[in-house]
Structure 1
Amino acid sequence: MTESDNPSRPADGNQIAYDGSQIQILEARESIRRRPGMYIGSIGERGLHQLVYEVVGYAVDEHVAGHADAIDVTITADGGMRVADNGRGLPVEPEESTGRSAVELVLTELSFGSGPRSRHHVSGGLSGLGMCVVNALSDRLSVEVRRDGFRWTQEYERGVALAPLTRHEATTGHGTTIVFRPDAGIFETTRYSFATLTERLRELAFLNAGLAVSLTDERPERPVRFRHEDGLRKFVTHLNPYPVAPVHSPAIGFASESGDGTVRAQVALQWNTGPRQEIRTFANSTRTLEGGAHEEGFLTSLTAVLNDHARRQRLLPADDGEPARELTAEEVRGGLVAVVSVTLADPVFEGSTRSRLRNAEAGDCVRDAVREHLDDWLERHPGEAAAIIRHIVNTATG
């Protein structure tokens, strides 16, 4: 074998050492700042707004767990963001092995808080990593916690704590306020869109009934407040095409939980006389643009339930001597506006964009919910049920 034939040596004869010293192990902050797109999708406007959604996602988790009913989001006069909630407040006790506060670990460690979780501890952000990511990608961040009878604060610069968590005066309040300013050295733009934030926050209010969400723009002040007790049905009404011409009113809405309590499904739907259709699906309040198991479970069960009801009530035409026709999934979608939302502890998504949900248990929960609740609704509303079947048939044959 000649020297040039040796695969461990380059052809020019200059040996390049490859050993453990060449393997870089990046700390969480350094890894995030070096490759921000891996954590928030982009360094453009989409990634900029994702920072807000990550912090808001923590507050939504507090609402899902039954500890918060209000989130106030503010675009500050200097172009930063302030997100305040009235939940329990981030934990402040020191971690035994490091002596650092739990607040600091949440804001600096990617692995903090991992472990078994129930449906009541879900994450609408990056699997619970979002607070650390936001901190690392902000040139300044401050946290204020009202918990355990006191007010606590801490400040960071580009993800590095400037001082330990500090205890202040006594208070009877509770909750967390995060103020941050995106790092202009990382993002292509640091200007937030009021319209973009309005759309997403309104969506979160629809998906989380009873949660009051406000947005204020101090550039100048322009407050908006959302709260929807009948969230998903109001969401469908909001999505309906204009002019509104519903086949039945109001929208149908129901919720159900899996037998083991790990998945909760909410569904709302309404047919309109026009051909336009829209089905929006969400997992832990995050839009799943490519659907997934929950959407498949919805459409499969929806088609089966409608066909079963139509056969029992003899609502489908049939030729002499021939069985009644079957509605197809595509026909059922004609004029349908629907929202399907699931919450679960450990969502599994396909692709880095988190656009398709894979969890089979989510599909099972939605399918069972539609079978039970929609079948019952059709039986209790025979006139509206017949109108829906006629609309589907006419739209398909028209």
Structure 2
Amino acid sequence: MSGEAIEYDAGHITVLEGRHAIRKRPGMYVGSTGERGLRQLVFDVAERAVNEVLAGTASRVDITFLADGGVRVADDGPGVPVEAAGHTGGPGLETLLTRPLTGPDTSGRHGLTSGLFDVGPCVTTALSSRLTAEVRREGTRWVQEYVRGAALAPPTAMGPASGSGTALTFWPDADIFETTEFVFGVFEERFRELAFLNRDLDVSLTDERPPGGPRSVRFRFPDGVREFVAYLDREAGRAGTAGTAGRAPHPDVIAFERDTPAATVDVALRWSDSREERVRGFANSWPAFEGSTHLLGFRDGLVGAVNAYARGRGLLAAADADLSADRIGEGLTAVVSVKLDRPEFLGATRGLLGNAAVLLCVTEVVQEHLGRWFEERPEQAGAIVGRFL
């Protein structure tokens, strides 16, 4: 090193806050400046609207991909409070769109978590070249415009409003993102998934960009994860590849749900004569990977119920080894969803649930409910268990 002294003091430190920090390091907030980060902008805005429906204060969410490259997310809830009108009862419009949500989570175990850091829609505001907020609340329509995260003026009353709700329309900043082209199919898959996992959710997606005219889809599944398993089996059948789908030894999906102190456990499963295993796990509606505590608990409960039934019916002799999880999983399609008050994810990407209490909780719920199902339907249970022997 040179003997020359290197001066470094507080004057060399630059403190970035709010939108400046987000725009300086966008990947820290949305994961990347590619397509992955682009779609996170939509999820950060849609999360608030979806939670309005799950809380019972709104009935539906409508997401529209506009022909000019913008995205509009609208709900029919009571409308976000507007500071300029003196509204209370939550963060006001400008607070919601410009400041990270660092307060306590009030959505409970049934609220949706889709952001990487749970800072709210302020990230979308900061990373959009333009954002328009429209609030219909208590008979008045309010509008506010933002450019690259900064409000151009306070919310302005634009006259009377019919109904109520909030609509946020934004255009991603092309100076930040490598692409501003949204892939509709990705959102179609994710919001279909959310509707399966949250049976009260009613969500529509409209794409106004196709040259042949707009296309729309709407998702609402009152039977929840039971319909999710049936959908996964249908999709495997459509794929038409050898061994990916098969005929079920019983036509019905086995499904059960229970609230426990540790978590709300929602499970659906069905076996077919396929050789493939398809098990999908979710924690607070977020996809979870193998090794998450609730998926480990599901396997333990599954193995316990099947082996207990096989031994109780004399299908396994005392000297026989227990049936393994791999053997029991052949041909299984299952969805395992847990919702917790305080999920503990291992890593920033939230792919691995670590709550230890959930493992035992899911094990007990699965073993009890599946064991009861076997006892109440001996013919179907025999057809299922017999194929493992």
* TM-score of the pair, normalised by structure 1: 0.87
1:104 offset after TM fit, Å?
1.2
Amino-acid identity (%):
47
Give the alignment of 1:168-183 within 5 angstroms: 168-171=158-161, 173-183=163-173
Give the alignment of 1:260-339 within 5 angstroms: 263-316=263-316, 318=317, 322-339=318-335
Which 5+ residue runs of structure 2 have no aligned equivalent? Answer: 238-244
Q: Secondary structure at the match of 2:258?
A: strand
Report Cα offsets for 1:12-65 as digits up to 9, x if no partner. 222222222333321121221121111111111111112112222222222222
Q: Tell me what 1:392 maps to.
A: 388
Q: 1:21 aligns with which of 11, 17, 30?
A: 11
Q: Is 1:235 matched with 2:228?
A: yes
1:85 offset after TM fit, Å?
1.6
- CA–CA distance in 2 between the matches of 1:361 and 1:59? 30
Give the alignment of 1:94-173 within 5 angstroms: 102-114=92-104, 118-171=108-161, 173=163
1:169 offset after TM fit, Å?
3.3
Q: 2:260 aligns with which of 258, 261, 264?
A: 258
Q: Which amino acid aligns with 2:21?
A: S
Q: Tell me what 1:245 maps to.
A: 247
Report Cα offsets for 1:197-230 as digits up to 9, x if no partner. 2111211111111322211111130111121111
Q: Tell me what 1:200 maps to.
A: 190
Q: Is 1:377 matched with 2:382?
A: no
1:360 offset after TM fit, Å?
2.4
Q: Secondary structure at the match of 2:268?
A: strand
Q: Answer whether contact 2:270 2:334 (CA < 8 A) is retained.
A: yes
Q: Answer whether contact 2:64 2:207 (CA < 8 A) is retained.
A: yes
- CA–CA distance in 2 between the matches of 1:239 and 1:368? 25
Q: Tell me what 2:47 maps to.
A: 57
Q: Secondary structure at the match of 1:349?
A: coil
Change (3 A) 1:273 1:339: same
- CA–CA distance in 1 between the matches of 2:111 and 2:30? 21
- CA–CA distance in 2 between the matches of 1:265 and 1:124? 19
Change (3 A) 1:140 1:363: farther
Change (3 A) 1:188 1:302: same
Give the alignment of 1:332-347 within 5 angstroms: 332-347=328-343
Q: Secondary structure at the match of 1:30?
A: helix
Q: Tell me what 2:356 maps to.
A: 360
Q: Tell me what 2:204 maps to.
A: 214
- Could you tell which deviates more after superposition, 342-351 or 216-225? 342-351
Root mean square deviation, CA, Å: 2.3
Q: Is 1:88 matched with 2:78?
A: yes
- CA–CA distance in 2 between the matches of 1:365 and 1:39? 33
- Could you tell which deviates more after superposition, 369-378 or 302-311? 369-378
- CA–CA distance in 2 between the matches of 1:247 and 1:153? 57
Q: Tell me what 2:242 maps to.
A: none
1:93 offset after TM fit, Å?
4.1
Q: Which amino acid aligns with 1:226?
A: F
- CA–CA distance in 2 between the matches of 1:101 and 1:326? 55
- CA–CA distance in 2 between the matches of 1:117 and 1:222? 32
Report Cα offsets for 1:265-288 as digits up to 9, x if no partner. 211111110111111111222212
Q: Tell me what 2:177 maps to.
A: 187
1:113 offset after TM fit, Å?
3.4
